[in-house]
Structure 1
Amino acid sequence: MSADTKRDFKDTVFLPTTDFPMRAGLPQREPEFLAKWTAEDIYGQLRKDAKGKTKFVLHDGPPYANGNIHIGHAMNKILKDVIVKSQQMQGKDAPYVPGWDCHGLPIEWKIEEKYRKKKMDKDAVDPVEFRRECREFAAGWIDVQREEFKRLGVFGDWDNPYLTMDFGAEAKIVEELLKFSMSGALYQGSKPVMWSPIEKTALAEAEVEYHDHTSTQIDVAFPFVKAPSADVEGARVVIWTTTPWTMPGNRAVCFGPEIDYAVIEVTKAGEATLAKEGDRLIVAEALMVEFVKRAHLEDYLVIARFKGEALAGGMLAHPWRGKGYDFDVPLLPGDHVTTEAGTGFVHTAPGHGDDDYLVAHVKFGIPVPHTVDADGRYYEHVPMLAGEHVYKVADRVCELLTEAGALMAKGVLSHSYPHSWRSKAPLIFRNTPQWFISMEKTGLRDKALKAIREDVSWYPAIAKNRIEAMVADRPDWVISRQRAWGVPITIFVHKATGEILKDEAVNARIIEAVKGGGADAWVAVPAQDFLGNDYNAADFDQVFDILDVWFDSGCTHAFTLEGRDDLAWPADLYFEGSDQHRGWFQSSLLESCGTRGTAPYKGVLTHGFTMDGEGRKMSKSLGNTVAPQTIIDQYGADILRLWAVSVDYQEDVRIGDQIIQGQVDAYRKIRNTLRYLLGNLAGFTEEERLPHAEMPELERFILHRVAELDTLIRSKSAVYEFTPAFTALYQFCIVDLSAFYFDIRKDCLYCDDPASTRRRAARTVLDEVFMRLVTWFAPILSFTAEEVWLSRFGTAAPSVHRQLWPATPTGWADEALAQKWTKVRRLRRVINGALEVDRREKRIGSSLQASATAYVSDAAYVDALKGLDLAEITITSAADLKLADAPAGAFKLEDVTDIAVVTGLAGGEKCGRCWSVKPEVAEEGDLCHRCDEAVAAHDARNTAA
């Protein structure tokens, strides 16, 4: 046949066929799938599919309804969606009911801002009207956040979420509160709580953040009224504090019984000091030098030394004695006193500190004074400082102490200090009447600790220690807030006895009123209507404090898990950021243990915080925030979903431009793998499927790897560790498939006759891999998996998300075969390395131009290669294996010392169809034997057709 009449064999080659685009266009395509899922009610279909199956309930921790979602929200919701979808695709009924926290200070603060701008006092606004505005504000942001969460590809009952401000939810919160009231766990006490003078309310620990703050530090001398020994007569005890404003609240000074103290006499005061020559001052020996520096003493003598226990029974005078502070100040032993800083003496103001309160009031019965009002100003009854604001009084306190001859030193200290995470203003400890739930009276602490230790699985396991320590040491639960927007503490207190009214009939009327009119009913309905005919409203005080929002969210299990037929109590899983050990995890635990005796969850999983690409905390002021909306608009939500599972989310995680670009590259490789599968499965039918036992070794090895993956993915899913599962999936795509199996079988898929065993086996494996890869990826790449699925099965096909992960036959796992192919792959790697050198040196263009001989010193390689074609595996035209010493100059890899390779050009001519170089082509015509048979079969089929 002449060159110009040679046949073009392109029509006999089976090239991949698919409409699935290489370019994803996710920002444009994803909204189309969202619309499709909405139109077909994907969530409703999933519920019908799973009806009657074992439930898996992940209870959604409620985000706050007051702004666009941030990257932390996105990570949290994506990971929850991955968990829920994974459970659903393993045959569970896995509903997901999203929810929102709607009450509390952040929303109230926003509405107050509106009034402040108008120069109006919020307290002058009708409370029902004010609450209506708060409700509308929350509802508006719920609508915004709902759409933002849906855009992430999160499936859920978005039309029926739970809201803490729904009337039914508010009624249930009231009902749960009244259970504590009836059990006797609820009480009113007066103790110092973390207080925001700006927001005029107590704050929970979870609402506090710590920032650097510059405080005035002072050393103050207290004279003796009653000296416990002759050693200290005529001396003064020196305390050190960074809160000068608490001096009016001082009622004691604490010492350490085991600390070594010294009496020093000032022999040379110096110009800069506030002390005088002859002053005798008592400080801890370990802190003496530091004190002398702060006080600028030029010289001194130590005139006595003693243990702190010698101070027991001593009585001091307040520095302002004779000016309204004429009480005695006892010296008290305290385990909290250390020699880390200060003077070894702790100024103790029981109204302004937890340790102070526990030692002075709880242990020694010293009354707790009320010194500071809700605005942060001293009450009118406070001598010398009435009406002054605590934030602005440091200089005045120092001036008054100097006049009294009590100030020994003054300076500034930069330290970590509690601030409100909303107003960013510094906080104070303030003694106020508040409502508490006792940790001891009804055994709440013991019940909670038992649940932590015995009933709940913690992921990671170390989280158990963290929350256990928190609950073991926590004080009674402060549940009251002095606000307007929230669920009120719906109780009556008898004016004469101070007792809480405990009456189930009254409680029932309160609950019914709130069901009908929401929490506003507590304000709108006359008190007598609640009390009925058995009580006189004039005899009772109606409490109008608002419940802490952590109590609200701690009750969500009651009105969501218990209150809905599609869910179940307890939840299988709670999953939030690690800060919720102090927040929602704990409030839910305490609420449930207090009312039901055990935890509302079987398992608790935590994730870390999102940081920028350099590991810094995200901050608007630093300009390093990463908005999920920006990433979605530029790259698509699936890139964000890929990032969420690719990072170790149980630790703090990083996100930035470079990190996202890395996810884009990984996504492209995954997409190309799926596209390759689609292209080479075109027209695949069940008749073409080949049984496992009839497959070549290579196919059986790939199915072994699939079996290994199946075991790994299911085991990691069971403990919510998706990062290692995704990593294994990704490596399978790019290493086992793209760089290995696809590379080897490309020739077979393109050029073998469709009826050949090898091609049928390869296409069968591609189908088995496709069904697993796409369904395994579906919880992660929710949009792309749907696109791939419908691209193969048609747009009318049921969604990929309605499929189950295919069961993997036990016969696929073959460890002996895997060990054999470990050696085969090692041989291939060394030969590929040698061919790469040939390509680089321009000795060959394609590997099919080459021949290769591998020399091995281990007969196990020879055994491993029995029944296999080394040329096929290495994509060369000829390859051989010899158990012999390699000739000098043979190619080796540094990490593989027992294989050496010699390459050369293959003998023969290039096949016009498959491009392999074979001797028969030179001898017999245009095609190699394989291609000649395939073309003949192709032509026969066409003729018959």
Structure 2
Amino acid sequence: MCADTPEYKETLNLPKTDFPMRAGLPKREPGWLERWNKIDVYGKLRQKAEDGSRKPFTLHDGPPYANGHLHIGHALNKTIKDMIVRSHQMMGFDARYVPGWDCHGLPIEWKIEEQYRKKGKNKDEVDVVDFRQECRAFADNWVGIQREEFKRLGITGNWDDPYLTMNFHAEAVIAEEFMKFLMNGTLYQGSKPVMWSPVEKTALAEAEIEYHDHKSHTIWVPFSLAAGEGDLAEARVVIWTTTPWTIPSNKAVAYNEKVAYGLYRVDATQEESWTNPGDLYVFADALAADALEKSRVTEFTKLRDVATSEFDGVILKHPLHGVDGAEGFWDYDVPMIDGDHVTDDAGTGFVHTAPSHGADDYECFVKRNWLDRMTHNVGEESEFLSHVPFFAGLRILDHKGKEGKANNAVIAKLVEAGGIIARGRVTHSYPHSWRSKAPIIFRNTPQWFASVDREVGDGQDEMGKTIRERALNSIDQLVKWWPQTGRNRLYSMIESRPDWVLSRQRAWGVPLTCFTKKDTLPTDPDFLLRDAAVNARISEAFEKDGADAWYAEGAKERFIGDAANPDDYDQVFDVLDVWFDSGSTHSFVLRDREDGTEDGIADVYMEGTDQHRGWFHSSLLQACGTKGRAPYRNVVTHGFTLDEKGNKMSKSLGNTIVPETVVKQYGADILRLWVAQTDYMADQRIGPEILKGTADSYRRLRNTMRFMLGSLSDFDEADRVAPADMPELEQWVLHRLAELDQQVRTGYQSFDFNGVWQAVFNFATVDLSSFYFDIRKDVLYCDGNTDRAKAARTVLDILFHRLTSWLAPVLVFTMEEVWLERYPGEESSIHLTDIPETPAAWLNEPLAAKWSQVRQARRVVTAALEVQRTDKVIGASLEAAPVVHVREAEMLDALKSVSFDDICITSAIQLTGDPMPAEAFRLPEVEGVGVVFEKADGEKCQRCWKILPDVGQHAHAATCKRCNDALG
């Protein structure tokens, strides 16, 4: 609406604001960051809580690695955390956020080694402390870079004092936490198969593994019976394996009592075959035909069923038994054992068992107390050790992770010994190191473990006596899971997990601060030196000089002191699994810092779903071993970020989205809005088209905020109207605000940012822009200082404070811009305010029900007028004065009780209960309302554009009475 003549246009109360339509976020956001830093918003928020009036709320930050620029997953993760912190702060909490970084471990060490390789340097020739200092400097540099990248996204927090796992105090506490395991009896040294990277020369945790397709050798190997009776004595039991290199370490053959087996005779073969007519083999019935076909058998006969009871006590010969030149190396008994892990899905129904190179194999030997039968045939570079005949020095994988010579050599020797009946290749999913991307092997090595099933000798038994019991009980009794599927995933992992491998054969990390007695077995009670004074000296040294103190000359003697004879002990130089570092952060962040928590427990841990096997997992185990319970009350999980087609992002595919690029093109608020628009607890998608849609939603919201700012330019507190004195339309808006306030608070409390955004955005664009603002523009522009104009501006002021505070946790820059447009000032900031309390008295369900009917009827009227506009019968809705037929008396009364012509933005309207004529316009979804179009009668007011009979009859020419009165 706008006056037709210049002199009348000047009399309208049109919106006035300098708030620009175009946001220009990429250029303007850095200025707000500088301003927040200058006025110390984060510090001022902490000061607000000094009187104890605000309940603390702490989100503990899962530390990213300090080793590269941010990717889109980082941006998603930190933005969700920021929204959690900001929303709880604005709901009245003292919401603290201490950002942190994981600074130790293979990812950083690997980068330094890469630099060495490029220079032709050998890491092993560098002094360990010098090497560690290079790792520290590398991490420190990336902490600085990532900190600025995170801040650019609008992330609030204690950036001046983050936590770093390489800080001296952190290293001291990590060592102290490890020594609690030493003292409470859960630490032990064991020899068992672990996932081993020959490229990185270290054990790896499950969280450091990813699976890729890998082409492996497959071989079918027959085992002869060492002794037996009847037809079975002449038969051979056939195994199938995809790791020929493990055959030299075979110690048993497993079967399953639930699988059906048979005795098979070869009747005919192809010309070239490693089998002969008359040979007898035992297979699972479901797999016999396939195995025999692979060995080029053309005809065979099943002679009989073989009961698994016939395997009881059967001893087999190793396929390399008696081979010339082996000096009896494989001339040992190979027992047949039962195992639940054996299936008849693939292979032969029998599983070759090498307990030093497989988890199931190892467990079978643990069950039988056969650990003295373990082999130590493979070294840290995946090479066969010198004592292994024929294969000594041959590598399974080379230094780049490519196949070495070991597999082919083993296969060739088996062929020579008659120990193979078929071979092939298979492509299957195989574990790889997530760092080097190279395949790993399972290798038996002495490692340090934390037992999850030994009783923890610390007396903190409320959640259970063992780490596993405490973890499982914590999951169900102490923690809320968002989404609940996170509980199920972690519970099943903890329920079935083996002992925690704590040791890594690396240099950059916190060492396992313990000493072992020489010439003593690990099972001996005196094997480990357990002494509180020794531990205290280690802790004190680490606090002063960091973990490098462990490597100083004379460290062993200084730490052991008079507790024992240092010459009787060896110092352990393995470093802790980096997941132990990050799992311990609750102790030196939540427990020890002033901005930590009173009980050392976080309100929220929030990470990606992969952290069920990572940080959520290690933090739970670590805390259950030292605190007796989980270190968190809520665990929130986000999914993975995919491209627009739902594909995993990959540099090779060219479908990656870099946060910095989005920020430069659109601004950080658009990236933050994308986060809020996603259902982040599932996998989410991002790409150019999605970002365009996000930017469009942003523009629509910005227009809403701009209209409010312009209409409030002359708002005066003296003109504020009490809710009870407002027109029904304004009271309805207040009702919607009261509804939304509950929805927003509940949404923020349950970390549902998508729900909050959708509710507020729909309200702003549908209830406000398309309904309330559309209707009230006429009053705001044309009424002058009437009571209903004052009421409308009062509601706009109330809306302003709710919308800016509700959306401030999401659109941190834009809501600051909106706020400062009304409240400029050197230390003014929306982020220093709370969400206003909204009176429950504003809720008015009867009024809402009535206005639901009014809006339904309005939809029919506006749709009817749109037909006339499309047909060019009218140009604007003010040219109409429709007749509205309403069947239901209740709705008719509702429409008659309000200014329905103003609500429909027509110059006049006639409401009637008469039956609607056939030509009346209807909407199928709104029954009982029909509209007959009529043009408005009268002249057009040159100020408000309404067509009314009284125009021209007043002192001011060509105006209606309302406009004439406004002009005075």
TM-score, normalization: structure 1? 0.97
Q: By how many angstroms is 1:796 displaced?
A: 2.8
Aligned runs of 1:302-317 on 2, under 5 Å?
A: 302-317=302-317
Q: Does 1:935 align with 2:967?
A: yes
Q: By how many angstroms is 1:124 displaced?
A: 0.6
Instruction: Quote the sequence identity (%).
Output: 53
Q: 1:567 aligns with which of 596, 617, 627?
A: 596
Aligned runs of 1:423-442 on 2, under 5 Å?
A: 423-442=436-455
After superposition, the Cα gap between the structure-2 partners of 1:6 and 1:675, relative to the gap in structure 1 and judged at 3 Å, is closer
Q: Does 1:177 align with 2:178?
A: yes
Aligned runs of 1:152-191 on 2, under 5 Å?
A: 152-191=153-192
Q: 2:395 aligns with which of 389, 400, 407?
A: 389
Equivalent position of 1:504 in the other structure: 532
Residues 875-926 of structure 1 deviation map (CA, whole Å, 9 limit, x = unaligned): 0111122223221222122322322211121000100110000010155551
Distance 1:214 1:484 in 2: 33
Equivalent position of 2:44 in the other structure: 45
Distance 2:352 2:145 in 1: 50
Contact persistence 1:455–1:602 (CA under 8 A): yes
After superposition, the Cα gap between the structure-2 partners of 1:370 and 1:839, relative to the gap in structure 1 and judged at 3 Å, is same
Equivalent position of 1:690 in the other structure: 721
SS at match of 1:905: coil
Q: 1:672 aligns with which of 703, 724, 735?
A: 703
Equivalent position of 1:17 in the other structure: 16
Distance 2:749 2:231 in 1: 69
Q: Does 1:415 align with 2:428?
A: yes
Equivalent position of 2:460 in the other structure: none
Distance 2:293 2:379 in 1: 37
After superposition, the Cα gap between the structure-2 partners of 1:899 and 1:110, relative to the gap in structure 1 and judged at 3 Å, is same
Distance 1:7 1:635 in 2: 39
Q: By how many angstroms is 1:525 displaced?
A: 4.5
Distance 1:116 1:890 in 2: 84
Equivalent position of 1:616 in the other structure: 647
**Residue type of the partner of 1:8?**
E
Contact persistence 1:259–1:307 (CA under 8 A): no
Distance 1:574 1:884 in 2: 64
**Residue type of the partner of 1:333?**
D
Distance 2:644 2:268 in 1: 57
Q: 2:510 aligns with which of 484, 487, 490?
A: 487
Equivalent position of 1:939 in the other structure: none
Distance 2:592 2:620 in 1: 18
Q: By how many angstroms is 1:226 displaced?
A: 2.6
Equivalent position of 2:461 in the other structure: none
Equivalent position of 2:274 in the other structure: 274
Distance 1:319 1:145 in 2: 56
Contact persistence 2:952–2:959 (CA under 8 A): no
Aligned runs of 1:97-116 on 2, under 5 Å?
A: 97-116=98-117
Q: By how many angstroms is 1:273 displaced?
A: 3.0
**Residue type of the partner of 1:422?**
R
Equivalent position of 1:940 in the other structure: none
Q: By how many angstroms is 1:513 displaced?
A: 0.8
Equivalent position of 1:885 in the other structure: 915
Aligned runs of 1:524-535 on 2, under 5 Å?
A: 524-526=552-554, 527-535=556-564
Equivalent position of 1:341 in the other structure: 346
Equivalent position of 1:478 in the other structure: 501
After superposition, the Cα gap between the structure-2 partners of 1:852 and 1:552, relative to the gap in structure 1 and judged at 3 Å, is same
Equivalent position of 1:625 in the other structure: 656
Residues 386-412 of structure 1 deviation map (CA, whole Å, 9 limit, x = unaligned): 111113222222211111112111111
Aligned runs of 1:509-588 on 2, under 5 Å?
A: 509-526=537-554, 527-568=556-597, 569-588=600-619
Contact persistence 1:790–1:797 (CA under 8 A): no
SS at match of 1:851: coil
SS at match of 1:602: strand
SS at match of 2:134: helix
Contact persistence 2:857–2:926 (CA under 8 A): no
Distance 2:709 2:843 in 1: 25
Q: Does 1:363 align with 2:346?
A: no
Q: By how many angstroms is 1:868 displaced?
A: 0.4
**Residue type of the partner of 1:514?**
F
Equivalent position of 1:399 in the other structure: 412
Distance 2:204 2:638 in 1: 24
Residues 142-190 of structure 1 deviation map (CA, whole Å, 9 limit, x = unaligned): 0000000000001111010000000000000000000110111100000
Contact persistence 1:231–1:304 (CA under 8 A): no
Aligned runs of 1:617-656 on 2, under 5 Å?
A: 617-656=648-687
Q: By how many angstroms is 1:364 displaced?
A: 4.8
Distance 2:103 2:272 in 1: 56
**Residue type of the partner of 2:268?**
K
Distance 1:6 1:560 in 2: 68
TM-score, normalization: structure 2? 0.95
Contact persistence 2:662–2:668 (CA under 8 A): yes
**Residue type of the partner of 1:538?**
D
Q: By how many angstroms is 1:274 displaced?
A: 2.2
Q: By how many angstroms is 1:272 displaced?
A: 4.5
Q: Does 1:127 align with 2:128?
A: yes
SS at match of 2:62: coil
Q: Which moved more, 1:343-352 or 1:320-329?
A: 320-329
Equivalent position of 2:886 in the other structure: 856
Distance 1:58 1:923 in 2: 68
Equivalent position of 1:298 in the other structure: 298
Q: By how many angstroms is 1:864 displaced?
A: 2.0
Distance 1:421 1:264 in 2: 44
SS at match of 1:64: coil
Distance 1:757 1:296 in 2: 98
**Any gaps of 5 or more consecutive residues in structure 1?**
937-945
**Any gaps of 5 or more consecutive residues in structure 2?**
324-328, 398-403, 456-465, 522-526
SS at match of 1:95: strand
Contact persistence 1:493–1:501 (CA under 8 A): yes
Q: Which moved more, 1:409-418 or 1:44-53?
A: 44-53
Q: By how many angstroms is 1:293 displaced?
A: 2.6
Q: By how many angstroms is 1:297 displaced?
A: 1.3
Residues 637-688 of structure 1 deviation map (CA, whole Å, 9 limit, x = unaligned): 0000000111000001100001111110000011111111000001212111
Q: By how many angstroms is 1:245 displaced?
A: 1.1
Contact persistence 2:887–2:928 (CA under 8 A): yes
Contact persistence 1:678–1:792 (CA under 8 A): yes
After superposition, the Cα gap between the structure-2 partners of 1:933 and 1:891, relative to the gap in structure 1 and judged at 3 Å, is same
Contact persistence 1:50–1:91 (CA under 8 A): no
Superposition RMSD in Å = 1.3
Q: By how many angstroms is 1:329 displaced?
A: 0.7
Equivalent position of 1:34 in the other structure: 33
Q: By how many angstroms is 1:818 displaced?
A: 0.9
Distance 1:46 1:525 in 2: 48
**Residue type of the partner of 1:432?**
T
Distance 1:275 1:764 in 2: 94
Distance 1:537 1:398 in 2: 49
Q: 2:483 aligns with which of 460, 464, 474?
A: 460
Q: By how many angstroms is 1:869 displaced?
A: 1.2
The count of aligned residue pairs is 930
Q: By how many angstroms is 1:797 displaced?
A: 5.1
Q: By how many angstroms is 1:7 displaced?
A: 7.7
Q: By how many angstroms is 1:100 displaced?
A: 0.2
After superposition, the Cα gap between the structure-2 partners of 1:362 and 1:370, relative to the gap in structure 1 and judged at 3 Å, is farther
Q: Does 1:376 align with 2:408?
A: no
Equivalent position of 1:943 in the other structure: none
Q: By how many angstroms is 1:465 displaced?
A: 1.2
Residues 51-77 of structure 1 deviation map (CA, whole Å, 9 limit, x = unaligned): 222100000000000000110000110
Distance 1:744 1:292 in 2: 83
Q: 1:328 aligns with which of 333, 337, 343?
A: 333
Residues 245-301 of structure 1 deviation map (CA, whole Å, 9 limit, x = unaligned): 111111000001121101111100113432121111111001122212322210001
Equivalent position of 1:351 in the other structure: 356
Distance 2:267 2:520 in 1: 60
